[in-house]
Amino acid sequence: MEGPIGTLARVVMWVGLAAFVCSAQASGADKPPLFEEVQAAAKAGSAEAENDLGYRFLQGAGVAKDEVQAAIWYRKAAEQGYAPAQSALGGLYLHGVGVPPDAMQASDWIRKAAEQGDALAQSDLGMMYLKGIAVPQDDVQAILWLRKAAEQGSPAGQYNLASLYQRGGAGLAEDDAEAIRWYGKAAVQAASQLGVRQSRQKLCEYRGENSVWCAEVDTPGAFGPVDDLVAAAEGGDAKAQSALGDMYQRGLGVQKDVTQSADWYRKAAASGYAPAQAMLGYMYYEGIGVTKDIDAGLSLYCKAAAQGNSRARANLEIMQIYGQFDLKECSVRLAR
């Protein structure tokens, strides 16, 4: 069975092409500049515009797709020292897109970008050392560059590093806790980035408390970048508030903080959101992140169960089996 690194190795070098658009076009404007405006700026010598133009030709975004032109414009920006373009040009050489395949050229450009701190290039360079592609195979260098990428927030780097921890590769001891920590950091980022969906799948496979990610694999959207979730939550979105509660409770992409978790669940529960009521009920019942209050926990379970929440219903039924609660009491609690 092919391992996680083996699967990603075929596509990880495309990260520079798939995701650097964030630096090339996300300038804070409501919509990207017109092709003609980018072209004029590129012809005037703007490295950022040259890079943007390369991306547009590569993707056929607002212009006929032309991989040769993409390589030409990426090279112009790369020769000016623009790291995202160097990373992208390296990817083109690696795969022979718009230029003849040339692994040495690929490694040269990717290294230039990586040494400037480009996280995507650092992830690619780490994988090149891991696989011995145009550089001597070197586990120490592989881990060094993958860790640099991961610590900068690159989801591809985080995924690759997590995969090595999961299987105990490249000299790292097998460590599921570290694997889950890095998968979690990647999983909460924008799903369009390479490494994010793969990390969510890996977390789902761990099951247990990480089963929350299984819904993301099947129906992506419940989790997203933390900043976006916080903005939605602070705006009163109960689902986002509950998602933050889940993340803080489990340490998914954020520092685990059960007090913060309870605070977010409380906000969502106050809006009548059943999953949050069930989770907050559990925290009150067990005294996790809040002062233990069995009465409050039972009332929250009843509210969630009345809305059809299976977790709350199951907990109440288990309590009834052991003589700890009578389901008939819920009607009294709900009438309060």
The three-state DSSP-derived secondary structure of 164-221 is HHHHCCCCCCCCHHHHHHHHHHHHCCCCCCCCHHHHHHHHHHHCHHHHHHHHHHHCCC
**Residue stretches of the chain with pLDDT short of 70:** 1-32, 218-225, 253
Q: How far apart are alpha carbons 317 and 326 in whole angstroms?
A: 8
Q: Give the pLDDT confidence score for residue 221 in this predicted structure.
A: 59
Q: How high is the pLDDT of residue 3?
A: 34
Q: What is the DSSP string of 241-261?
A: HHHHHHHHHHTSSS---HHHH
pLDDT at 310: 84
Q: Is 336 exposed, middle or buried (0-12, 13-18, 19+ CB in 10 A)?
A: exposed
> In whole angstroms, how large is the CA radius of gyration of the chain?
24
> Phi and psi for 192 in degrees, rounded to 5?
-70, -15
Long-range contacts of 233-236 (CB under 8 A, 24+ apart): 233/264, 233/267, 236/271
Reading the block at residue 331, the tokens are 């009607």
The pTM (predicted TM-score) of the whole model is 0.62
Q: Which of 92, 146, 91 is CA-nearest to residue 119?
A: 146
CA–CA distance from 24 to each of 33, 88, 237 (Å)?
A: 11, 11, 31
